Amino acid sequence: MKKLLTLAILITLLAVLVAACGGPATEAPKQEQPAATEAPQATEAPTQAPKPTEAPAATEAPAATEAPPAEPTEAPEPEPTMAPGDEEVLSPAAYWNLPDLGGRTIRAVTGNDYVPLNFVDPKTGKAMGWEYDAMEEICQRLNCVIEWNVTAWDTMISAVHEGQFDVGMDGITITDERQQQVDFSIPYMRSEQFMLVRADEDRFSTPEEFAANPDLLIGSQAGTTNFYTAVYEVLDGDEQNPRIKLFETFGAAVQALLSGDVDMVLMDAASSQGYIGANPDKLKIVGGPLASEDFGFIFTPGSDLVEPFNKAIASMKMDGYMDYLNKKWFFLTNPNGDDIYDTMPDLGGKTIQAVTGNDYVPLNFVDPKTGKAMGWEYDAVEEICKRINCTVNWNVTAWDTMISAVHEGQFDVGMDGITITDERKQQVDFSIPYMTSQQFMLVRADEDRFSTPEEFAANPDLLIGSQAGTTNFYTAVYEVLDGDEQNPRIKLFETFGAAVQALLSGDVDMVLMDAASSKGYIGANPDKLKIVGGPLASEDFGFIFPPGSDLVEPFNKAIASMHEDGYFDFLNNRWFFLYDPGAAQ
């Protein structure tokens, strides 16, 4: 076999797949030694945090200080792909400063024969899958370009060994024997094998029960991990055991199972999706997982790509991108029928005029080292357009003119951590929430006079710094103080950065802020600022559109899919947990 998923994912996945997958397919994926003929038939952040005077000026509140903002209606996410082991762990500096391959073209090869890792969509003819997405993301992080190639499994390792291709993938198990021919990356996935049987099978449910009945036969392919598992994990260790019936392809073994010529075929969860989905009333999984194996990318011996790939893979484990891929390809994608991705609106490559403020770390800001605009909202909108087939043309404007500019149609969509309110809904249309955020009390590092809003309110000498008309201001008035908008204990400033500067200089004693902003300020002033107390007001952020915009529904569908498949969890990890103003490039 050639793959690797944690036990928790696989057990859950199998249950989901048996219940949910549907739609006929003429042939499902194989496990080990797939051949091309068996493919599914077409039947950044700043190196220094913003200085106090440059603080994120977005008036909108919130996001949890130490944890990513709570997402509306998040589905449970799968366990991490990787099992513990000799995994590379990156520092924040290494995470944000991966190797740069300078736009180098990488000749990648796969088999298009292993659903859902790599296959051809029978409806569109497009090559896709877990490994395609993973490779594209790796090259996005390392600054390289992929030239995709396809070859048969039985020639892939030798072709990569000889240097015909730079990197190969096909759910390839890392083994000592193969390491004599090619170099491997660190594992990107763990997979386990299960017993695939006919739906009416009731004679056995464990390897021991199977082995005890001499009339039962296994279908397999010679020389594969499936074969050796059958020999050494199920039967008696005799590779010539006549109870193992050999077939040229894994698909032929499954066909023999369906026709009753054999009674069990060993398979992994990746392959099970295709077979059980194509035959929901004819096949099932029994028993628990058997052999476990790690998958890796293969390289020509001595390749200088191994280390950069290892760092990129490690970064994708750290920030949850691998979890997102697992959710997308093992839980939500249906290779044999429509799924949430197939039903996305298609905007036909339309150019979207998007506007932000570049003033709200880590949602949107300019990296002072590179001059590149970056952040959570940049990544989110680029992914939205990837899903609904549009192109983003980025624009920047001041916060105080953004809502009116979008209202007038100067831009198609706006964002700056904008809280959804009834008042604003009179001016612009909102998307569904993409983030729920909360405000906290930012204070000087030596503050010990209060740690709750009640303690703050009880001391008449304590002052709050804020901006008039913002969510921060109204939270100060109604959640901390007495509801009097003219309360002299609230000192108003033109910008949020000026309020923080007043806090640092001792002119005020507290500023309300969200986690998105806190990361920049505390990062820039680690010995001068801190958060005290728990979260105060909670609010939802949404994208804004001109009234009546036809983009609202497509954006909503994309946002809903990103909540469901865990893409927002990845963004939260990247920007709220891993973003380090001192380490980011």
525 and 475 in a single domain? The answer is yes
Q: Which helix (H) or strand (E) holds 106?
A: strand 104-110
pLDDT tens by residue, the chain, 585 residues: 333 333 333 333 333 333 333 333 323 333 333 332 232 222 232 222 232 223 233 333 333 323 233 333 232 233 333 433 456 788 888 999 999 999 999 999 999 988 789 989 988 899 999 999 999 999 999 999 999 999 998 999 999 999 999 999 999 999 999 999 999 999 999 888 899 999 999 999 999 999 999 999 999 988 777 888 999 999 999 999 999 999 977 778 899 999 999 999 998 766 766 678 778 789 999 998 887 889 999 999 999 999 999 999 999 999 999 999 999 988 888 877 789 999 999 999 999 999 999 988 789 989 888 899 999 999 999 999 999 999 999 999 999 999 999 999 999 999 999 999 999 999 999 999 999 888 899 999 999 999 999 999 999 999 999 988 777 888 999 999 999 999 999 999 987 778 999 999 999 999 998 766 766 678 778 799 999 998 987 889 999 999 999 999 999 999 999 999 999 999 988 988 788 665 555
**344 phi-psi bin (left φ>0, alpha ψ -120 to 50, beta other):** beta
517 and 565 in a single domain? The answer is no
Residue 31, phi then psi, degrees to nearest 5:
-100, -85
478 and 555 in a single domain? The answer is no
285 and 179 in a single domain? The answer is no
111 and 36 in a single domain? The answer is yes
Apex 425 CA angle, 424 and 431, nearest 5:
110
427 and 562 in a single domain? The answer is yes
Q: Flag whether 491 is in a domain.
A: yes
Rounded CA-CA distance 71/571 in Å is 11
CA distances from 414 to 38, 390, 402, 542, 562 (A): 47, 15, 7, 9, 19
Q: Flag whether 288 is in a domain.
A: yes
Rounded CA-CA distance 532/534 in Å is 7
Q: Flag whether 59 is in a domain.
A: no
CA 78 from centre of chain: 11
Residue 397, phi then psi, degrees to nearest 5:
-145, 170
107 and 17 in a single domain? The answer is yes
92 and 34 in a single domain? The answer is yes
Q: Which of 332, 361, 385 is the last residue of a domain?
A: 332
Which among 467, 480, 584 is positioned nearest to 61, based on CA atoms?
467
242: Cβ–Cβ under 8 A, 6 or more apart, which residues? none
Here the tokens at position 485 are: 């908008």
Give the chain's domain count. Answer: 4
Q: Flag whether 13 is in a domain.
A: yes
534 and 488 in a single domain? The answer is yes
320 and 405 in a single domain? The answer is no
533 and 549 in a single domain? The answer is no
**What CATH number should be reported for the domain holding residue 496?**
3.40.190.10
pTM: 0.70
430 and 453 in a single domain? The answer is no
Asked whether the beta carbons of 499 and 510 are under 8 A apart, the reply is no
Asked whether the beta carbons of 70 and 54 are under 8 A apart, the reply is no
Q: Flag whether 341 is in a domain.
A: no
Here the tokens at position 324 are: 């997102």
What is the extent of the structural domain holding 455?
436-539
Q: Flag whether 67 is in a domain.
A: no
Q: Flag whether 260 is in a domain.
A: yes
